[in-house]
Amino acid sequence: MRSNGYTGIKAIYTAFILCLLLACSKDAESNDQIIIEDPNGDPVTIDTSVNKKNVGDSANDLLSGQTFTELVLEIMYLDGYKPTEASISNLIAFLEARLNKSAGLRVVEKEITITQQTEYSIQDIIQIEDENRAEYNFENTIAVSGIFIDGGYDQNTNEGSVLGVAYRNTSFVIFEETVQSFANQPFAPSLTTLETTVMNHEMGHLLGLVNAGTSMQSDHQDVAHGRHCTTDNCLMYWTAETGEGLLDMLIGGTVPSLDTLCLDDLQANGGK
Ligand SMILES: [Zn+2]
Ligand SMILES: [Zn+2]
């Protein structure tokens, strides 16, 4: 009797756990699939999980032309927080110089509406991306998502106002309201210079810099500052990501470029 009762409870318990697992896997499945139209207008199911990996995981796919010959960049922005056309052109020029994409680069711009907050966590940003992103890897095209948002990053400190974060293998966010506030300071570089620096820097992380998805050809990781370069005028220097640091770094008013150490890494991983 006692053992039967125990078995019965155990069976119910197991069934309950199984249901939970099934429910979870079913949710995960539907969350990672969207249906789009192919060029003939026929519906195709896309697996979006390939665009939900870790920063640097798609470095080679982005740099080389082996699997993907085209890149589509989906720029999503809130009203009033769109990057300048010059910044977008600068980012495209930066990518064209580094990526082997024989079929070229395409930009899709889209205004989005969200529930606005004064600050956002990366979890919040991921949710916004998942609700609004429409471009995912498809056939020979690799897709990158960039969100331009109001408010600030919830990890900001008094000395560090974060301007951008690369947070998935093909996703970055720019805290555009923060970027604009620094551009409005006296003697600050232009908005386009600030936007271009931060966008290029976050793309650098998606390309696997530094030592994060793209192997180093020489030792130049500033380990104390994570995935950054030790060269203080390189685009991948750690100060390029915060407003306070960037104003110091951009005294000349020009967008920093990648130093030869970072370029060597990208070229060894399929880039130009
Ligand atoms: Zn960085
Ligand atoms: Zn560097």
* Whether this model's pTM surpasses 0.85: yes
Residue 96 CA to ligand 2 centre (angstroms): 18
Question: How far is residue 166's CA from residue 146's CA, in Å, rounded to a whole number?
Answer: 9
CB atoms inside a 10 Å sphere around CB 215: 11
CA dihedral 232, 220, 157, 191 (to 10 degrees): 50
To 10 degrees, what angle do helices 191-206 and 85-98 make?
30
Question: How far is residue 251's CA from residue 115's CA, in Å, rounded to a whole number?
Answer: 36
- 264 CB-side CA count, 13 A: 10
DSSP 8-state secondary structure symbol assigned to residue 82: P
Question: How far is residue 41's CA from residue 31's CA, in Å, rounded to a whole number?
Answer: 23
Question: How far is residue 268's CA from residue 264's CA, in Å, rounded to a whole number?
Answer: 6
Q: Which residue, 141, 142, 151, 144, is CA-closest to 172?
A: 144
Residue 254 CA to ligand 1 centre (angstroms): 18
Residue 202 CA to ligand 1 centre (angstroms): 6
The helix (run of H) or strand (run of E) holding residue 261 is: helix 260-268
152-175 pLDDT tens trace:
999 999 888 999 999 999 999 999
* Ranges in the chain, pLDDT < 50: 1-29
Instruction: Name residue 189's beta-bridge partners.
Output: none
Q: How far is CA 263 from CA 197, 209, 266, in A?
A: 16, 10, 5
pLDDT at position 187:
87
Domains for the chain: give ranges and CATH numbers: 54-268 (3.40.390.10)
Residue 225 CA to ligand 1 centre (angstroms): 9
pLDDT at position 36:
84
Residue 20 CA to ligand 1 centre (angstroms): 39
Residue 30 CA to ligand 2 centre (angstroms): 40
Residue 269 CA to ligand 2 centre (angstroms): 15
- For 216-259, the DSSP string reads -SS--B-GGGSS-BS-TTSTTSGGGGBHHHHHHHTTT-S-----
The helix (run of H) or strand (run of E) holding residue 182 is: helix 176-183
- Interior/surface letters 174-204, b for 16+ CB within 10 angstroms, e for the rest: bbbbbbeebbeeeebbebbbbbbbbbbbbbb
CB atoms inside a 10 Å sphere around CB 70: 18
